[in-house]
Structure formats: C-alpha cells, structure tokens
Amino acid sequence: MDMKKPAINILNAEMKILSIGDLHGKTLWQSFVDIKEFDHIIFMGDYVDDERIPDIQIIENLREIIAFKCAHPEKVSLLLGNHDMQYLDYPNHRCSKFNHRIYESLVEIYNQNRSLFDFSFGVHPFLWTHAGISIAWWDLIKKNIVGQYVPQDTNDFNDFFNILYKNPHLKKYLFSVGEKRGGNQAGGILWADIAETSTNYLEGIHQICGHNQVPEIISVGDDSSGITYIDCLNSSCDFFELQIDDV
C-alpha cells in the first residue's frame, strides 16, 4: 500500500475547504477553526464515543458543533459516521464504545437535528464521506439497485445516499461491514476499512475520509483518482486544507 503525504493540500485556486477528522468529543476545533478563512468547513463524523473524555464534554461539544452549523448553514457540512448512526438509528447499527450513560441524550440530540447532517459532500472531482467508497462496495450497490438512480457527479452522491437510507430494502447497504471490521461483505461509507479503500478506490474521484486512524494525513493515488485519510487527531492536531479551482 503506497501512501504519502497529501499531494493536493495547496492548489492555488478558487474554493478553500477545511476538513476536520473524527473528533470523538475533542474540542480542539473550537480553538483552531476560523470560519472567515474558508469557503466551506466539513466535519467528517464520529463526534462522540471516547471513554477518555467526560460525558458532559461529549454532549456539549456535539451541541457546539450543531450550533456552529446553524450559525453558518451554507458554509458548514456535518457528515455522519458509524458512531453517530448508532444513536440516530438507535437501537440499530451498534458499534464499539456505545455510551450507556448518556445514550438517551445523544439519541435525542441527533434525532432533533437530523436535517443538519449529511452522508457526503461533493465538489467534483472530490468526494467526502466518513469511511470512503471502494470499488467492491460500489459494485455491490449497483448490483442491488436495478432501476434506481445512480449519481454521475460527486455533487449528487448525498441525495443518492439519502435515497438508500429511506428505502427499507436498500438501507442495509449503507451499514455493510467488511471482513476487516468483522463483517462479511464490502464495507460501506460508514464502515469501510483502509485495507478496502486504499487499493480499491473509485476512478475519476479523489475521496477524503475519516474512520481509519492514521498518524498523520496521508494520501493514496493522485488528484484525479485517489483517497486521503484524515482521521489523525489522536496523534496530531492536523486538519486537511484543500483548494479547488474551476468550481
């Protein structure tokens, strides 16, 4: 697996985007993020669930993130991760570190603010999801959505994922888990493992994802086809800056 530091960090372009990796209760974004410096800010999901952080901080940080989105609705995107979905869709889709002490509060907060969260964000040819898309998972999706709309542009993926989520027969594919994470089919946008996406990513799209812990921000592939992993906040205080031209 050939990994390197991001080749697309600075492109001298028209749209400046900041991506914030999985926080799991960490508040560092409040000290380092200035909304005036960026055209768009994307939180990659997994806002909760860390036994090392006090429950009250977990709750208050989630509320602060939601308030930040409400204050800047057109400039901030909040993506959903697997740790968020286990409360939004409680009692389904459970994963590790489920917080039995404050789950009722988290279920209420997520459901009251469901409209503020997305499954993806896209500015072609870049696509942001929590865990990334592998060719294997995309083939699984296309095989099982005969007659359904398939997005042709990264800007259309979020609508497509919402269609899957609202369809009782297709929803399960959003939550599919690969063998590396204890499942039996290709991992979806909430669960895909780095072993699935780093060698099997989509052509013609450069993805940005969290979910997989890395020591620093790293990329595979190139600007047009590849994937960048930014879940590094356990080891470094690094956010991912991307500038895009021809928006």
pLDDT digits (tens, 9 = 90+) for 173-192: 999 999 989 888 899 999 99
**Starting at the edge strand that comes first in sequence, how are the strands of the sheet with 218-221 ordered?**
120-123, 126-129, 206-213, 226-231, 218-221
**How does pLDDT run across 79-102, given as a tens digit for each residue?**
999 999 999 999 999 999 999 999
Q: For the chain, what percent of residues have pLDDT higher than 90?
A: 79
Least confident of 35-39, 147-151, 168-172, 192-196: 147-151
For residue 65, the enclosing domain spans 15-244
Residue 1 falls within a domain, yes or no? no
Residue 10 falls within a domain, yes or no? no
Question: Strand pairing of 120-123 and 117-118?
Answer: unpaired
What distances in angstroms separate CA 124 from CA 54, 140, 178, one per listed residue? 39, 23, 27
Q: Which two three-digit tokens encode residue 173?
A: 């594919």
Q: Is residue 177 classed exposed, middle or buried when 0-12, 13-18 and 19+ CB atoms within 10 A define those classes?
A: buried
Q: Which two three-digit tokens encode residue 222?
A: 């190139």
Residue 152 falls within a domain, yes or no? yes
Residue 8 falls within a domain, yes or no? no
CA 75 – CA 39 distance, rounded (Å): 6
Residue 78 falls within a domain, yes or no? yes
Task: Report the domain count for the chain.
Answer: 1
What is the per-residue pLDDT for 11?
Answer: 38
Residue 4 falls within a domain, yes or no? no
Q: Which two three-digit tokens encode residue 131?
A: 């865990």
Q: How many CB atoms lie within 10 A of CB 16?
A: 16
Contact assessment for residue 58 and residue 48, using Cβ atoms and an 8 Å cutoff: yes
Contact assessment for residue 241 and residue 10, using Cβ atoms and an 8 Å cutoff: yes
The answer, yes or no, to whether residue 66 has pLDDT greater than 90, is yes
CATH code at position 89: 3.60.21.10
Map residue 234 onto helix, strand or coil. coil
Q: For the chain, what percent of residues have pLDDT higher than 70?
A: 92
